[in-house]
Amino acid sequence: MIKGKLLNELQKIVRIDDTCAVTDINEIAKDSALSSCDPYLESEYLSYYCENLMELQKRWVIGTFQDHLSISELAELYGVSNSAVKSWRKSAIMKLKKSLVEHKI
């Protein structure tokens, strides 16, 4: 029974991965359409997408896309290791990806 549930979860993850083509996150950050946005509007967009994220994941999203900080800069700012920030990034991307698939955005 446990093996079956694990297999179902893995299949779900594979479907999500197949549905969403993950592009380089830096390409998204450098997108001219996003960078030419009004700063207030950009902040509103980020807030909307961050609603379901945990605080650490929000820190990564806001730091990366709004403040244009690197992983090492975020790590120094919050007094954590680079690998901790990479963990925030990984979990944020997975949650955002799952949310986008569920809402078909």
How far apart are the C-alpha atoms of 102 and 76, rounded to whole Å?
Answer: 34
Average pLDDT of the chain is 75
41-73 pLDDT, tens per residue? Answer: 667 777 888 888 999 999 998 898 888 899 999
Burial 71-105 (b: 16+ CB within 10 A, else e): beebbeeeeeeeebbeebbeebbebbeeeeeeeee
pLDDT at 18 over 60: no
pLDDT at 9 over 60: yes
Q: Where does 1-105 have alpha helices with state H? A: 2-19, 25-29, 32-35, 39-49, 55-61, 71-78, 82-103
